[in-house]
C-alpha cells in the first residue's frame, strides 16, 4: 500500500508554498515529485538549490547524465521528465533511447559522458579507469568530472524518492527500452 499522496499547496509549509508558486510561474506546475519533497520543511528548497546550481555541463550533457542514471535506477518518473526535457533540448526519440543505454554514438563527447555515468552508477561510484580516461580524452576536464558526480547524486535523490513514494508520473510516459 502506497502511503504517499502528492501534497497540495495548502498542505505544505508557508516556505514550501512560496516554492510551489515559483515553480508554477517558471514551469507551469509543481511536478508531483517536487511536491512530495515538501513533506519536509527543507528538502524541496535544498533540492532546488542543488538542481539549479551552476555547473560546467551544458543542458544536453545534463540530460545525458539524468537519463542514464534514471534508466539504471529504473525510475519511470525521472525517465518521463527527462525524456520531455531532452526533447526540448533537441534530442531525437532515437537518440534519447540510445542515451538511456549508456551510449551516444551520434556524438563522441556525449558518448564518453554517457559511458562514464553508466560506469559510475553500475559500479557504485568506482568507474572503470578506462572509461574515466576516455572521458578526459573526449575533452572533458577535472571540473567536468566533479560536476558529473554532483549531477549523478542529484538524480539519485529523485530516483530514490520516487522509488519509495511511487507518486503519479505527471509527464508523458517515456518509451520502454
- What is the residue-wise DSSP string for 115-167? HHHHHHHHTTT---HHHHHHHHHTT--HHHHHHHHHHHHHHHHHHHHHHHH-P
Cα(169)–Cα(135) distance, rounded to whole angstroms?
33
Domain 59-165 class in CATH? mainly alpha
Domain boundaries, the chain: 9-51, 59-165
- pLDDT exceeds cutoff 80 at 2: no
- pLDDT exceeds cutoff 80 at 129: yes
Question: What string of H, E and C letters represents the secondary structure of 31-53?
Answer: CHHHHHHCCCCCHHHHHHHHHCC
Question: What is the predicted pLDDT for the residue at 176?
Answer: 87
Band (pLDDT 50/70/90 cuts) for residue 46 is very high
Predicted structure pTM score = 0.96
Buried b (16+ CB within 10 A) or exposed e, 42-62: ebbbebeeeeeeebebeebbb
pLDDT, one tens digit per residue, over 74-127 is 999 999 999 999 999 999 999 999 999 999 999 999 999 999 999 999 999 999
Question: What is the predicted pLDDT for the residue at 177?
Answer: 79
Question: What is the predicted pLDDT for the residue at 1?
Answer: 56
Indicate the SS3 state at residue 13: coil
Q: Is residue 55 within 8 Å of residue 64, measured between CB atoms?
A: no
Cα(1)–Cα(127) distance, rounded to whole angstroms?
36
Q: Average pLDDT, whole number, for the chain?
A: 97
Question: What is the predicted pLDDT for the residue at 116?
Answer: 98
Amino acid at each position: 500500500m502506497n502511503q504517499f499522496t502528492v501534497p497540495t499547496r495548502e498542505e505544505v509549509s508557508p516556505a514550501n508554498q512560496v516554492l510551489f508558486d515559483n515553480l508554477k510561474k517558471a514551469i507551469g506546475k509543481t511536478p508531483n515529485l517536487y511536491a512530495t519533497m515538501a513533506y519536509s520543511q527543507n528538502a524541496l528548497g535544498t533540492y532546488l538549490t542543488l538542481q539549479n546550481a551552476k555547473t560546467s555541463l551544458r543542458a544536453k550533457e545534463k540530460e545525458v547524465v539524468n537519463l542514464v542514471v534514471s534508466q539504471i535506477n529504473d525510475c519511470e518518473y525521472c525517465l518521463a521528465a527527462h525524456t520531455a526535457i531532452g526533447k526540448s533540448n533537441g534530442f531525437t526519440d532515437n537518440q534519447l533511447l540510445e542515451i538511456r543505454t549508456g551510449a551516444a554514438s551520434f556524438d563522441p563527447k556525449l558518448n564518453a559522458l554517457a559511458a562514464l555515468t553508466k560506469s559510475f552508477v553500475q559500479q557504485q561510484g568506482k568507474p572503470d579507469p578506462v572509461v574515466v580516461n576516455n572521458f578526459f580524452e573526449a575533452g572533458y576536464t577535472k571540473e567536468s568530472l566533479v560536476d558529473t558526480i554532483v549531477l549523478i547524486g542529484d538524480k539519485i535523490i529523485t530516483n530514490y524518492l520516487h522509488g519509495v513514494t511511487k507518486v503519479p508520473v505527471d509527464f508523458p510516459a517515456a518509451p520502454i527500452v
